[in-house]
Structure 1
Amino acid sequence: MSDERYTDGFLIPVKKSKLDDYTRAAEKCSAIWKEYGALDYAETVIDHDGIPNMRAFADAAGAGEDEVVVFSYVVYPSKEVRDAANEKIMADPRMKEICEVSAPLFDCRRMAYGGFRTLVRA
């Protein structure tokens, strides 16, 4: 069953020693994203990786031995709501503070990002 929902997905290598700080920043972000229309916001940390004959998330993320992989996603009612929300989120003054705190937590250039339209939702 297809629907109009739209999902942003992120794959982020984070230093193990910075995971608690990252979590605190993500908690602040979640409130802002939800305020601007996100239906669901999740930040998850890898717990099981590496199945034979499959590429590991750690490899896909380029994570080093001292890093963990965070997989995050935000679900919106539609791409239009996502686009409007992202404009508001990036203009929100709370984001400047979060970005300043988050800068040493992970390297944005190593973060993988994509916007996804829904094919199947059960």
Structure 2
Amino acid sequence: MQYIEGFVAAVPTANREAFRKHATEAAAVFKEHGALKVVECWGTNIPDGEVTSFPKAVHCREEETVTFSWVIWPSRAVRDAGMEKIMNDPRVDPAVNPMPFDGKRLIWGGFEVLVDE
């Protein structure tokens, strides 16, 4: 069964193009190591919530935009093996391909698919 990994981040709005470039380069690495698909989205309608919201989750500042991303893997096992390779791949080393946002405020999680209509 497919496995989905989701990500939410706050990216400086001025870094939109740098984020797109970074994400495009990283997506190639993810796909090389087993991911089926990588989707990166730039927020355009992300309201603040009263209790919780995407902006609150990543402590989004006024000069930042929320991004929402996901990676589709064939299975959790393929994801685990692929991520081990990705973490050792020099193309995603922060010294070579630095993240154009504060990675400490990135949230992520892995999910088993329950419904896929």
TM-score, length of structure 1 as denominator length: 0.86
Unaligned runs of 5+ in 1: none
Match of 1:120 in 2: 115
Is 1:106 paired with 2:93? no
- How far apart are 1:25 and its partner, in Å? 0.7
Cα RMSD after superposing both structures: 1.7
Residue 102 of structure 1 aligns to a residue whose secondary structure is coil
Distance 1:84 1:36 in 2: 8
Unaligned runs of 5+ in 2: none
Query: Normalized per residue, which structure has more helix?
Result: 1
- Please identify runs of 4+ aligned residues in structure 1 that moved more than 6 A: 51-54
Distance 1:52 1:64 in 2: 14
Distance 2:11 2:86 in 1: 22
Task: Please give the per-residue CA displacement for 1:55-77, whole angstroms capped at 9, x wherever unaligned.
Answer: 44222321010000011110101
State the AA in 2 paired with 1:79. Answer: R
Give the total of aligned pairs.
116
Residue 71 of structure 2 aligns to a residue whose secondary structure is strand
Residue 110 of structure 2 aligns to a residue whose secondary structure is strand
Are the structure 2 counterparts of residues 113 and 51 from structure 1 closer, same or farther at C-alpha, using a change threshold of 3 Å? closer
Out of 86, 90, 93, the position equivalent to 1:89 is 86
The percentage of counterpart residues that share the same residue type is 35
